[in-house]
Structure 1
Amino acid sequence: MSSHHVIREKQEPALLIANGEACQPELLGQLLEWSPTVVVLDSAIWRVLELGIKVDVLLGDFDRNLDLDTIRAQQYPLDVVHAPDQNKTDLHKGIEYLIERGYPAVNIVWATGRRADHTIANLTDIVRYKDQIRMVILDDYSKVFPLVGRFEKWYAAQTPISLIPVGTVEGVVTEGLTYNLHDESLTLGYRTSSSNEVAEDGFVRIAARTGDLLIMECWD
């Protein structure tokens, strides 16, 4: 158990910290307050330790020759998970670790910004796990999560909402947006529903017949 635990383990989303652009301390603090488990990918560990965050799990391929003795001296207890599979990214491994241990949900931070290839891969790759664990990628400007089944949520008017397909998505139907879709197709690189917005205070509903769709709540 970590010093940040304020709830029972696995009742709230775990927190997975990658190695992209750091978010504001306020956002990170809010997520830590409700996270029973903090998993850090190995490339980010020193940045995390500098912030004084209590880490539960350090995971990765450890190809940077980390000084694990020094890390363990600062973080105890610490579960060190060596995941050397080079066919998977460390983010994949972190999500799979949580799935295998029965976590129902995970918030992911520091997964965007810095390198464009990492950002694109992290945002699009999460759809492969959408039926196994609830996932949200957050940064200072966006909240991104895959559509699972039928989505319904109350929003204030003019809240920016973007729908980004991963590949092709068929039969997209929306309600409550300024520009609604009526059984239409979206294809990455050709047609998306970017920079749409909530028409008026009320519920937004989103569904799709086939394919993987990312829902993005964005703000400037």
Structure 2
Amino acid sequence: MNQIKFKSNVVILCDGTFPSHPIPLSYLNNAEQIVCCDGAADKLIEYGLSPGYIVGDMDSVSEKTKTDFADRIIASTDQETNDQTKAVDFVSQKGYKSVVILGATGKREDHTIGNISLLLDYASKLDVVSISNSGYFQPVLKSQKFDSFKGQQVSIFSIGTPTEITSQNLKYPLNKSTLNSWWKGTLNECISNTFSLEFLNGRFIVFQKFER
């Protein structure tokens, strides 16, 4: 089973599908700081861990949790952003430089798409990766080499103004290709232990699937 070479002991737990795969669970179990988005705090407590902070508008967390952890609640009624962003802003203000987001996918598809797309906004504040039970998403703002393995499934999403992109070590090569629709960079495959993407002035989100 492949490991993600992303180092952070700070976890934001969103109120989507709770982690069950060993890789996201390893980040959760080893976190020094866990910031829960609203109702995710109830799931974390049921799992057997305690939230360091609970951030959000407090519309889905139980009354018992709000009482038991009253000193850890960071309430915000701002409806111009979502709870995941509120949590990212909070950890950034606390001075953390990197964060792992868990539980951002599953349940409602519109929430999933919104949470993933926001990674590009967070990339200007800190290093961030969002890990689901099937793989991980990371924002990419400049040409980059990625650790991988032969046969790893890879999808590339272009967000914003389309730009030409070239790949190395992908089964279906990109050669100054313009990904002007979300599906165009999906369902690719790495043919080595690394792959790379080269582009100018682009904004991409890359998904890498776990080995199993």
Q: TM tier, shorter chain?
A: 0.7 to 0.9
| Residue from 15, 18, 23 that aligns with 1:22 | 18
Match for residue 135 of structure 1?
128
Work out whether 1:47 is the aligned partner of 2:43: yes
Aligned to 1:152: 145
Identity %, equivalent residues: 20
TM-score w.r.t. the length of structure 1 is 0.84
Give the deviation of 1:179 after TM superposition: 1.5
- The aligned residue for residue 194 of structure 1 is 186
Q: Give the match for residue 99 of structure 1.
A: 92
Letter in 2 for 1:215: V
Residue 91 (structure 1) shift: 0.7
- The structural deviation recorded for 1:210 is 2.2
Checking the alignment, whether the CA contact within 8 Å between 1:177 and 1:198 is kept in structure 2 is yes
What displacement does 1:48 show?
1.5
Q: What's the Cα RMSD here? A: 2.2
Name which of structure 1's ranges 177-186 and 113-122 shifts more when overlaid on structure 2. 177-186
1:74 Cα shift? 4.8
Are the counterparts in 1 of residues 19 and 25 from structure 2 also a CA contact under 8 Å? no
Partner SS, residue 8 of structure 2: coil
Is the contact between residue 165 and residue 174 of structure 2 (CA under 8 Å) also seen in structure 1? yes
1:215 aligns with 2:206: yes
Q: Distance in 2 between matches of 1:156 and 1:57?
A: 36
User: Could you tell me which amino acid in structure 1 is paired with residue 93 of structure 2?
Assistant: E
Equivalent residue for 1:37? 33
Query: What secondary structure is seen at the aligned counterpart in 2 of 1:108?
Result: strand
- Give the match's secondary structure for 2:118: helix
Name 1:178's counterpart in structure 2: 171
State the distance in 2 between where 1:194 and 1:165 align.
Answer: 10
Equivalent residue in structure 2 for 1:71, among 48, 65, 76: 65
Give CA deviations for 1:198-220 in whole Å, capped at 9, x if unaligned: 12x33211132123201100246
**Secondary structure of 1:153's aligned partner:** strand
- The 8 Å contact of residues 159 and 205 in structure 2, kept in 1 or not, is answered as yes
